[in-house]
């Protein structure tokens, strides 16, 4: 991952540090977007959405396909992909999740596995078997150099978009009427329904938003790797880990967790061991979880006996 950035010969510790910083901020933003989608669905639909990554991948395929076939530019195809993501979310909620409302949470997770398989089957049918590419939003040529470290405008763009988007979402959830509806649905669906909250709409919009967040993560990741069926696997697993680390009971916990994981992983991989960095980070998070089982910001749920 870092080989790409090695444009300069001299090994400068400050340069390395800055490079790692920029890189971690970029991957952290992507993880945070995915994690936010997962926690949104977890809170409103009471299920772990394993298909989050696959939904994003599907819409990234649509973007790449449009670009390849009709030669639209990246901004236009990204817009189209976000719209189709919105629709995908609504379709999945209406036709699959809502009929299964009475199913147990574990079975619901397996339903999302079913969604993964349906999408895996659809991909080669619609788009062929070759993997495709998507360019960066801002070409690589545009970049500034800080202390020898290369900072692409695209990296700044990714970080800025993610930060603004997440800030807007937190503001929305915290201060608007619909945000309040989301929060009460998350805390108790039955009671909110009795109080007249349109929980069905809230769940539907949550799925649509989560799908859009996933797609955005896919579009940001696509230039680094390429567009293929498992492109979001690492992102999704990291998003789960971020959710656990930050705590699923708040909306901002997973975002913080995402940045922690991204930083920890990049720095251990660079300074300690390329191979064992991940193992080290995962083990330390496990140990951390033993002492704080509900994450950094999580609260122990109160249970009636």
Partner 1 sequence: MKILNQVENFFGIISKKIGKHPIVPFILFGLVIASIGFLPHTGLMRWGTMGVFAYIVIFTVVAMGLNLLLGFSGLISLGTAGFVGAGALGLGVFINLGFPFELAALMVLIIAGSMGALIGLFSLKVEGIYLAIATLFVGEILRQIYTQLEIFGGQAIRIGAIRFFGFIELSMINQFQRSILFLLITTMMVMMMIIMHNIVKSKTGRALMAMSRSQHAAQAMGISLLKYRLTAFVLATLFATFGGIMYGLYYQNVPTTAWTLDLSLFVIAMVVVGGMKSIYGTFLGVFIIHGIPNLWLKNYFGDISYIFSGILIILVIIFYPYGFVYIWYDLKRLYIKHKLRWMKKQVIKDE
Using CB under 8 A, list all residues that contact partner 1. Answer: 42, 48, 50, 96, 99-100, 102-104, 106-107, 109-111, 113-122, 124-125, 129, 233, 237, 240-241, 243-244, 248, 275-276, 278-279, 282-283, 285-286, 289-290, 293-295, 298, 305
User: Which among 232, 261, 290 is positioned nearest to 34, based on CA atoms?
Assistant: 232
Nearest-angstrom CA–CA distance, 37 and 274: 29
Q: Which is nearer to partner 1, 147 or 233 (CB)?
A: 233
CB of 55 to partner 1, least distance (A): 13
Stretch (H or E) spanning 68: helix 52-70
Written as six digits, the tokens of 277 are 């960095």
Question: What string of DSSP letters covers 165-218?
Answer: HHHHHHHHHHHSHHHHHHHHHHH-HHHHHHTT--HHHHHHHHHHHHHHHHHHHH
For 144, the 3-state DSSP assignment is strand
How far is C-alpha 258 from the geometric centre of its chain's CA atoms?
Answer: 9
User: Which among 225, 54, 53, 216 is positioned nearest to 134, based on CA atoms?
Assistant: 225
CB of 267 to partner 1, least distance (A): 17
CB of 160 to partner 1, least distance (A): 30
Give yes or no for a contact between 56 and 232, defined as CB atoms under 8 angstroms apart: yes
CB of 164 to partner 1, least distance (A): 28
Nearest-angstrom CA–CA distance, 148 and 11: 10
Count of alpha carbons within 13 Å of 245, Cβ hemisphere only? 27
Q: How many CB atoms lie within 10 A of CB 289?
A: 13
Q: Which is nearer to partner 1, 11 or 106 (CB)?
A: 106
Count of alpha carbons within 13 Å of 260, Cβ hemisphere only? 22
Q: Which is nearer to partner 1, 90 or 120 (CB)?
A: 120
CB of 113 to partner 1, least distance (A): 5
Q: Which is nearer to partner 1, 14 or 289 (CB)?
A: 289
CB of 115 to partner 1, least distance (A): 7
Q: Which is nearer to partner 1, 4 or 237 (CB)?
A: 237
Backbone angles phi, psi at 227, to 5 degrees: -90, 105
Q: Which is nearer to partner 1, 42 or 259 (CB)?
A: 42
CB of 273 to partner 1, least distance (A): 10
CB of 147 to partner 1, least distance (A): 33
CB of 213 to partner 1, least distance (A): 19
Q: Which is nearer to partner 1, 120 or 159 (CB)?
A: 120
Q: Which is nearer to partner 1, 99 or 167 (CB)?
A: 99
According to DSSP, residue 129 is labeled S
Written as six digits, the tokens of 143 are 């970049």
Q: Which is nearer to partner 1, 222 or 261 (CB)?
A: 261
Backbone angles phi, psi at 149, to 5 degrees: -90, 140
């Amino acid at each position: 991952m870092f080989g790409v950035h090695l444009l300069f010969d001299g090994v400068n510790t400050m340069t390395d540090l800055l490079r790692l910083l920029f890189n971690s901020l970029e991957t952290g933003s992507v993880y945070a977007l995915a994690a936010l989608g997962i926690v949104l669905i977890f809170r409103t639909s009471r299920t772990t959405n394993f298909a989050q990554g696959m939904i994003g991948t599907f819409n990234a395929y649509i973007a790449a396909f449009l670009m390849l076939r009709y030669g639209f530019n990246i901004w236009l195809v990204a817009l189209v992909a976000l719209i189709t993501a919105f629709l995908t979310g609504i379709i999945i909620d209406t036709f699959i999740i809502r009929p299964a409302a009475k199913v147990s949470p574990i079975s619901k997770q397996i339903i999302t596995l079913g969604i993964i398989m349906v999408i895996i089957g659809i991909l080669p049918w619609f788009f062929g078997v070759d993997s495709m590419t998507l360019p960066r939003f801002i070409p690589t040529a545009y970049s500034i150099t800080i202390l020898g470290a290369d900072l692409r405008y695209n990296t700044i763009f990714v970080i800025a978009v993610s930060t603004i988007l997440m800030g807007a979402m937190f503001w929305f959830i915290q201060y608007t009427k619909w945000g309040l509806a989301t929060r009460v649905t998350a805390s108790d669906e039955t009671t909110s329904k009795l109080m007249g909250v349109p929980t069905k709409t809230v769940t539907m919009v949550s799925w649509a938003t989560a799908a859009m967040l996933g797609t955005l993560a896919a579009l940001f990741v696509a230039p680094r790797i390429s567009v293929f069926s498992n492109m979001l696997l690492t992102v999704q697993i990291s998003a789960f880990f971020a959710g656990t680390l930050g705590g699923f009971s708040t909306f901002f916990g997973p975002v913080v967790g995402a940045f922690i994981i991204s930083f920890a992983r990049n720095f251990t991989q660079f300074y300690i061991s390329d191979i064992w960095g991940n193992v080290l980070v995962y083990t330390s998070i496990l140990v951390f979880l033993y002492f704080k089982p509900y994450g950094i910001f999580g609260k122990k749920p109160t249970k009636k006996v």
